[in-house]
């Protein structure tokens, strides 16, 4: 199927947060450093964090503990520290949420262009909703989205298709009419399972893997580029 065919009927977009709209690794680094200090464990490097984010807080905390304890993520030593670590992480993250993160280039311009073109917008992220809502507001992004789902808003998170299918139902649109835009295989797998077209950006995290390896319908250099591409395929000539 060609790009023209895939995007021709698009009426809405579901956009990821971490690694797609915001570079939040600095926030993760500060919060995890505080957590690890409380547990009397050594700090983790930003480069190590970048390959761990994207699958939700529980996965992140398990991965960090496993790395620092040199254990399996579900081993008894990790389990023994997990609850305390999660509480500390959430406390530290909420205290600094958004203070060290930054918008990627052309995010605002891209959202403005999509909105101007009449696309309905949703944000679907695996970040907990308690972190997501204030972060979007702090960065001036909250006004763009009719629907926002965090990783704990529904019974299952990406790469499960449930969040994307829920947005499609919210909008009263078929999955083929709703494009997903993200930076990782989580976004693409969820979109494929839901039946949504999917575009990927090349600058995010993607668990340390190359974006070229993601099964998507195309790579766009920015959200503004995505808006222009969608417009070019959905505007009658």
DSSP 65-125: HHHHHTS-TTSHHHHHHHHHHHHHHHHHHHHHTTTS-EEPTTHHHHHHHHHHTT-EEEEE-
Active-site residue, 16 included: yes
DSSP 127-192: S-HHHHHHHHHHTT-GGG-SEEE-TTSSSS-TTSSHHHHHHHHHHT--GGGEEEEESSHHHHHHHH
Give me the catalytic one of 16, 18, 27, 217. Answer: 16
Peptide bond into 159 cis (omega under 30): yes
Query: Could you tell me the two tokens for 159?
Result: 């790469």
**Which of the residues are catalytic?**
16
């Amino acid at each position: 199927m060609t790009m023209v065919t895939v995007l021709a009927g698009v009426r809405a977009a579901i956009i990821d947060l971490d690694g797609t709209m915001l570079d939040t690794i600095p926030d993760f680094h500060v919060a995890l450093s505080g957590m690890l200090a409380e547990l009397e464990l050594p700090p983790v490097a930003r480069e190590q964090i970048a390959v761990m984010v994207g699958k939700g807080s529980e996965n992140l905390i398990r991965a960090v503990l496993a790395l620092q304890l040199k254990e399996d993520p579900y081993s008894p030593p990790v389990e023994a520290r997990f609850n305390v670590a999660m509480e500390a992480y959430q406390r530290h993250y909420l205290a600094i949420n958004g203070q060290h993160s930054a918008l990627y280039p052309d995010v605002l311009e891209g959202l403005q262009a999509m909105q101007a073109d009449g696309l309905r917008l949703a944000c679907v992220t695996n970040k907990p909703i308690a972190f997501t809502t204030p972060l979007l507001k702090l960065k001036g992004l909250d006004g763009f989205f009719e629907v926002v789902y965090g990783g704990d808003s529904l019974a299952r998170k990406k790469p499960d298709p449930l969040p994307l299918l829920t947005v499609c139902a919210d909008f009263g649109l078929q999955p083929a009419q709703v494009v997903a835009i993200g930076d990782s295989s989580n976004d693409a797998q969820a979109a494929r399972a839901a039946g949504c077209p999917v575009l990927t950006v090349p600058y995010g995290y993607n668990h340390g893997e190359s974006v070229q390896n993601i099964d998507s319908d195309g790579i766009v250099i920015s959200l503004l580029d995505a808006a222009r591409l969608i417009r070019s395929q959905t505007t009658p000539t």
